[in-house]
Amino acid sequence: MSLVLRGTNFGKAFNGAGARGFFGHGNPFQKNVRVDWSGATFVSKSVTRYPNTGNPDAFETLPDGGLVNAVALDNPGLDQLLSEGTWQALRQPFVISLGFAGTEDWQHLKDAEAMSTLLQRHRSYFQAPFAVELNVQCPNKRYVSEKVLSRLTLALQPLDVPVIVKVGLHNTVDEVCNMLYGCVFDALNIGNSVRWGSKNVNYDWSESSGLEGAVSGARCLFDRLLALVTELRPRIDIPLCANGGVSTVEDIEQLAAAGADAVAFWSVSYHHPDRVPALVAKAKQVF
């Protein structure tokens, strides 16, 4: 098992979107702690069509190993990032995560079309294969609606690269299946965070000291992730990346047994950066 998409092996272990930096600002722990991501596939922080101002330093740790953030897709925009040439210089397969900051369906669709066109224009300069991830349920922004999601996946087809759809842990299995109906995509990423106060998640929402945003890494999110993977696997026949609250090698073993094809992690690199090499190694062993 691993994420082999359109003939390219994207690997078995991924960093969660943004775990390796927020475009040069925010995520302050990365300025002082070196996390060894050797052997893991790079996934960019989610980028939007236009520059989007969020709250890059809005982080709070939670007592159960989780994080809460209100970063809200803070980024300089896809055009700026492509002009810098950093992604084009990468030499191993990687993933560009695309986010959507608009508030209307038509904005989400136009942004997908524009980002597809921009990437097509720059594609010949990329030295390594890449996939695009549609982050359609960012907890700090309006979710992309079910009725427009299939059109977003179609808008990316002219780019001719693998498309990964990323959905949140708050969904039921039926909601995920209904959402994906009619979509053209290559893999599913069960996402790493939930909106503060989300339904279907067994969490004490009084834990925060005031910052309300996206919750990731909490232990209950892994339990939710494992249940979703277990229930989804018999109903979908595409590669599935499990991403949410993963913090131990035993977690990875359970996800592999449940039918996941790959794994991603984020919050553990904040709380326990020394664990990352062992988690990557375990993913390579069991998937």
The tens digit of pLDDT for each residue in 60-76 reads 877 777 888 877 888 99
- Per-residue confidence (pLDDT) for residue 209, from 0 to 100: 58
**Average confidence score pLDDT of the chain:** 90
How many Å apart are CA 283 and CA 11, to the nearest integer? 9
Average pLDDT over residues 237-252: 96
Average pLDDT over residues 36-52: 95
285 vs 55: which has the higher pLDDT? 285
Question: Tens digit of pLDDT for each residue in 196-237?
Answer: 888 778 877 776 656 678 888 888 899 999 999 999 999 999
For residues 203, 189, 76, 19, the Cα torsion angle rounded to the nearest 10 degrees is 60
Sheet holding 193-195, edge to edge: 59-61, 67-69, 214-216, 193-195
Instruction: Report helix, strand or coil for 194.
Output: strand
Report CA Rg, the chain: 17
Token look-up 């992730």 returns 225
Alpha-carbon distance values, 209 to 45, 61, 130, 242, 255 (Å): 26, 10, 39, 29, 32
- Per-residue confidence (pLDDT) for residue 194, from 0 to 100: 86
- Per-residue confidence (pLDDT) for residue 199, from 0 to 100: 77
Q: Does the pLDDT at position 192 exceed 80?
A: no
- pLDDT band for 259, please (50, 70, 90 cuts): very high
- Closest of 89, 91, 94 to residue 3, by C-alpha: 94
Extents of the domains making up the chain? 4-286
- pLDDT band for 31, please (50, 70, 90 cuts): low
- Closest of 242, 231, 241, 221 to residue 62, by C-alpha: 221
- Per-residue confidence (pLDDT) for residue 30, from 0 to 100: 57
Alpha-helical (H) ranges within the chain are 78-84, 105-122, 146-155, 173-180, 219-232, 249-258, 267-271, 276-286
Phi/psi of residue 159, each to 5°?
-70, -25
5 has which bridge partners? 8
For residues 73, 79, 80, 84, the Cα torsion angle rounded to the nearest 10 degrees is 120
- pTM comes to 0.95
The packing angle between helices 146-155 and 173-180, to 10°, is 50
35 vs 258: which has the higher pLDDT? 258
Average pLDDT over residues 243-260: 97
Contacts of 199 (CB under 8 A, 6+ apart): 170
Cα within 13 Å of Cα(192), Cβ side = 27
3-state percent helix, strand, coil for the chain, nearest multiple of 5: 35, 20, 45
- Per-residue confidence (pLDDT) for residue 208, from 0 to 100: 61
Question: Tens digit of pLDDT for each residue in 269-280?
Answer: 988 999 999 999
208 vs 245: which has the higher pLDDT? 245
Query: For residues 170 and 201, is the Cβ–Cβ distance under 8 A?
Result: yes
Query: For residues 20 and 34, is the Cβ–Cβ distance under 8 A?
Result: no
- Per-residue confidence (pLDDT) for residue 29, from 0 to 100: 54
- pLDDT band for 22, please (50, 70, 90 cuts): low
Average pLDDT over residues 122-148: 93
- Per-residue confidence (pLDDT) for residue 32, from 0 to 100: 66
The packing angle between helices 146-155 and 105-122, to 10°, is 20
Question: Tens digit of pLDDT for each residue in 161-184?
Answer: 999 999 999 999 999 999 999 999
Percent of the chain with pLDDT over 70: 94
- Fold held by 4-286: TIM Barrel (3.20.20)
How many Å apart are CA 162 and CA 94, to the nearest integer? 11
Q: Does the pLDDT at position 24 exceed 70?
A: no
